[in-house]
Amino acid sequence: MDRPLSIVVIGASGDLAHRKLYPALFGLYAQGYLPERFAVFGFARSAYTHEGFREHVAERLTCRYTPQESCGQRVSEFLQRCWYIRGEYGSSDAFLDLYQAMKEVEGAGEAANRLYYLAIPPSLFLATAHALGGAGMVQCGLGEPWSRVVLEKPFGRDSASSARLTREMAKVFTEAQTYRIDHYLGKEVIQNMLVLRFANLVFEPVWNRNYIASVAIEWKEDMGIEKRGYFDDYGIIRDVMQNHLLQILALAAMEPPGRLDSKHIRDEKVQVLRNIPPLTAADVVVGQYTGTERNGRRIRGYTEEDAVADDSLTPTFAAATLRIRNRRWDGVPFRIRAGKALDERVNEIRVRFKDVPGNLFTQAAPPFAASVTAANEMVIRVQPDEAITLRIVNKVPGVGMQLAARDLDLEYKAAFSEPIPDAYEDLLLDVFRGEKGLFIRSDELEAAWEIFTPVLHELETKRIKPAGYAFGSRGPETG
């Protein structure tokens, strides 16, 4: 990490860069993870001066890792390394200007590693990649100095468009240079999944169809789509299910990797995804939020949002049951549900175990007879308030034999004093280090699209109408 590093944020005036990337870069800087000589180059169409850009970057920086007194100083050191270049995304000339500015800042001496973060709408990926390539800014080969590109989903709209994007991008950046982000893989609890499963003895022996009755992965947001204009073109299945939820499922269901490196981990994820039969419309329930009144105030429904057509059929909610056809999981339903504008913001995985066979307590004669209502359940809460709980059945203190389920609780806030980093901090650091385990490989992406492409096409060609659910409710009935 001694070599100079240039981080180029393309789409520098956008929301993703502002909310996530600059704070994450500053977090890494504050913790000493950036090389001595690094620079951040913002590139976008907006008219900023370097100073104006620095003010924009500063708006979201926080002092999580720096004691208050030194924070101002660290912020201003960081901002001094931020530069802005204005230009059109597809223009090689604009990229030549950017290149020129980079060379001036980088100076003579050891050539810098370069990271290109495409924080732009996917419709601009190809033109931008070609312009970068055309301006001679992409270093070939795997050695140093390296050039790497980071992209965020959506990677296409279905199997065919995703394959086309992968093929075209590969003309500029090889697969080895490409980092496809799914930011859920950077979340602390998601990164803990493999540790939980494979660094503990007690879970793996019961982690299969013999002991597990079902797995539910739930994702809820309590906001509507707000300013996310792109959403209407994609819908909740492409926005959240095909990527975040499927990745969580893959980590929960994969076989142990032979080794803990990115190749072995991703091989196992691909394997499990390939064992999931594609969904059809009969396997899913789709919904769309409708307007409602709250405290005398009208809350807009989905089709009343500014960026949405009045007759839009785009689902903002979906529930589906996936099956995994392999020896470990045959017969175990994996229920996934995702929805916007619901009653709360939560993402959790619920692993429900089977009932105790020949349960002594339900079969016993008085005074030992007791009804046990709850099966064991493990809940892994990704957000908010990261936690892992295991529901166990206990005797309620007192005379007689009354049983009740209670939780063994691991709340991150109480158990760990360390701050929980933002997912982007970990992911960016991995890109700098060339560590690819938390990024989506092209065959993994292909397997993910194969599961969802048929149902997406069917919903669209048959113009299936999503069930309405009131903003802030628990969503439509899913049976």
Q: Are 216 and 347 in contact (CB under 8 A)?
A: no
Distance of closest approach, residue 234 Cβ to ligand BG6, in angstroms: 8
Shortest distance, position 240 Cβ to ligand BG6, whole Å: 6
- Quote the least distance from Cβ 229 to ligand BG6, whole Å: 12
Among 106, 221, 305, 348, binds ligand BG6 (CB under 6 A): 221
Q: Which of residues 173-192 bind ligand BG6 (CB under 6 A)?
A: 183
Q: Smaller CB distance to ligand BG6: residue 261 or 385?
A: 385
Residue nearest to ligand BG6 (CB): 239
**Residues near 412 by Cβ (< 8 Å), separated by ≥ 6?**
188, 189, 385, 386, 387, 420
Residue 438 beta carbon to ligand BG6: minimum distance, rounded to whole angstroms: 14
Could you say which of 18, 130, 244, 457 is catalytic?
A: 244
In the shown chain, the binding pattern of residues 413 to 432 toward ligand BG6, with x for contact by CB under 6 A and - for none, equals --------------------
Tell me whether residue 244 is one of the annotated catalytic residues: yes
Tally of CA atoms within 13 A in the half-sphere of 189 that contains its CB: 21
CB of 183 to ligand BG6, least distance (A): 6
**To which residue do tokens 């994007």 refer?**
165
- Phi/psi class of residue 107: alpha, beta or left (left: φ > 0; alpha: ψ in -120 to 50)? left
Strands 38-44 and 82-86: parallel
Q: Which is nearer to ligand BG6, 230 or 361 (CB)?
A: 230
Residue 167 Cβ, how far from ligand BG6 at the closest point, in Å?
Answer: 24
Nearer to ligand BG6, 85 or 427 (CB): 427
User: What does R_g of the chain's alpha carbons equal in angstroms?
Assistant: 25
- CB nearer to ligand BG6: pick between 240 and 438: 240
Rule CB under 6 A: is residue 268 a binding residue for ligand BG6? Answer: no
Whether the CB-CB separation of 417 and 400 falls below 8 Å is answered with no
Shortest reach from residue 232's CB to ligand BG6, in Å: 12
**Smaller CB distance to ligand BG6: residue 62 or 70?**
62
Residue 115 burial by Cβ neighbours in a 10 Å radius (0-12, 13-18, 19+): buried
Residue 38 CA, distance from chain mean position: 27
Most distant CA pair in the chain: distance in Å? 86
Closer residue to ligand BG6 (CB): 240 or 322:
240
Interface characters, 129-168, with ligand BG6 (x: CB under 6 A): ----------------------------------------
405: number of CA atoms within 13 Å, CB side?
13
| Contacts to ligand BG6 from residues 314-353, by CB under 6 A | none
Q: Give the CA distances from residue 52 to residues 56, 82, 156, 315, 336, in Å, rounded to whole numbers and listed in that order.
A: 6, 11, 34, 39, 44
C-beta closer to ligand BG6: residue 158 or 267: 158
Tell me how many residues contact ligand BG6 (CB under 6 A): 4
Query: What are the CA-CA distances from residue 325 to residues 264, 272, 278 (Å)?
Result: 21, 9, 11
Residues 6+ apart with CB under 8 A from 371: 361, 362, 403
Chain centroid to Cα 460, Å, comes to: 25
Q: Binding ligand BG6 by CB under 6 A: which of 106, 239, 268, 348? A: 239
CB of 11 to ligand BG6, least distance (A): 15
Q: Within 459-478, which residues bind ligand BG6 (CB under 6 A)?
A: none
Q: How far is the CB of 201 from ligand BG6 (least distance, A)?
A: 32
For ligand BG6, which is the closer residue by CB, 183 or 441?
A: 183
Closer of 212 and 428 to ligand BG6 (Cβ): 428
Q: Which of residues 368-397 bind ligand BG6 (CB under 6 A)?
A: none
Summarize as ranges the residues that interact with ligand BG6 (CB under 6 A): 183, 221, 239-240
Residues assigned a catalytic role: 244
